[in-house]
Structure 1
């Protein structure tokens, strides 16, 4: 970033200047989530987010090129929070695929309680979430959080090796996306039973 660009961003934020690029993006994402909750993701425009963040619309484009990029970033942020909260499920002596099932069950529970995730994956947000799933940023995050764990399972012979771990991680996340808004009833075995039957049989060598 040039000196002029840095000054331009500083003046755009006024006296409440973010301490870093990361902090600025975080403020914008929080503003976007407020707008999503009030108007729905589909009706939220860059001008709405800028107003909620207290900046000019043109400043928004210094951090995000379009509204889909903002949604993508919010989705990655929420996914990261869920992954961090379910991290403990991977620290056990269980086989890798059983760890995966427990991490998914915990992640689903957390996602259903998160207001931001409910909005992001609600009726209006779901199409944008599917669009976000094609982004490089989303795939990188997915590979880091789940793919690396599955790669360990491939190395130990617990997970199939004929499909790349990041692709397997994509499968897992798409299954969980479908379950967030449609929990499996207790009569049908609940989320854990369905995930155990489906994931272990699909990912086992």
Structure 2
């Protein structure tokens, strides 16, 4: 690790350095907006060189992805509050997709990669194993009796994967003309609903 820069306050270790870079990038996003943030701005914010930033993050998309990941818990908390009334599995899937489609494009941090035009990086991040784990956590927080439809344990991650892949498809390849929220709900319920009905187990 370099021993100069960092505005005179050196990081304790590599993890601390990465955290500071992500925090600085977050401040830059707040101040400049996602389309105007660059590595130079983040480096200036920390009093380090661009090369130092590149030691920890290969490029801007990787750094924005780290900023987005840091905001995941906040996003899930907002989704959980929005879906607190949902008690059926069918409604949980439909409403989580509709909520995401409305929220992500303007979400301060989760939607960063889309706003910055990095759709491919966004897609890889959303369909990563870590993202599936986050999605399963979100589904598990809902007041839905998943056991009653035979969804238990690792099944929630599989369901989260289906939801996230559908969400990415809707975001990257929107219908023409665009579907309304109710039309998205109808589509999801029509084709996924039968797999999510209550049954004896």
TM-score when scaled to structure 2? 0.66
What is the alpha-carbon distance in structure 1 between the residues aligned to residue 82 and residue 194 of structure 2? 20
Question: Which of 162, 170, 195 in structure 2 is aligned with 1:171?
Answer: 162
Shift of 1:37: 0.6
1:25 — aligned with what?
Answer: 22
What is the alpha-carbon distance in structure 1 between the residues aligned to residue 73 and residue 195 of structure 2? 25
Tell whether the 8 Å contact from 1:50 to 1:60 is kept in structure 2 after alignment.
yes
Shift of 1:61: 5.0
2:149 — aligned with what?
Answer: 158
1:66 equivalent to 2:58? Answer yes
2:179 — aligned with what?
Answer: 185
Structure 1 residues 85 and 29, CA, compared in 2 at 3 Å: closer, same or farther? same
1:89 — aligned with what?
Answer: 82
**What whole-Å deviation, never above 9, does each CA across 1:41-79 have from its counterpart, x for those lacking one?**
xxx6x55643465432343256x3422532332332454
**What whole-Å deviation, never above 9, does each CA across 1:145-175 have from its counterpart, x for those lacking one?**
34x358x644x22354697321220110121
Tell whether the 8 Å contact from 1:27 to 1:53 is kept in structure 2 after alignment.
yes
TM-score when scaled to structure 1? 0.65
2:101 — aligned with what?
Answer: 108
Structure 1 residues 158 and 70, CA, compared in 2 at 3 Å: closer, same or farther? same
Structure 1 residues 69 and 193, CA, compared in 2 at 3 Å: closer, same or farther? same
**What whole-Å deviation, never above 9, does each CA across 1:170-202 have from its counterpart, x for those lacking one?**
11012112223526424x952222232233234
What is the alpha-carbon distance in structure 2 between the residues aligned to residue 102 and residue 131 of structure 1? 23
Q: CA RMSD in A?
A: 4.0
Tell whether the 8 Å contact from 1:143 to 1:165 is kept in structure 2 after alignment.
yes
Q: How many residues align?
A: 188
What is the alpha-carbon distance in structure 1 between the residues aligned to residue 98 and residue 160 of structure 2? 15
Unaligned runs of 5+ in 2: none
Unaligned runs of 5+ in 1: none
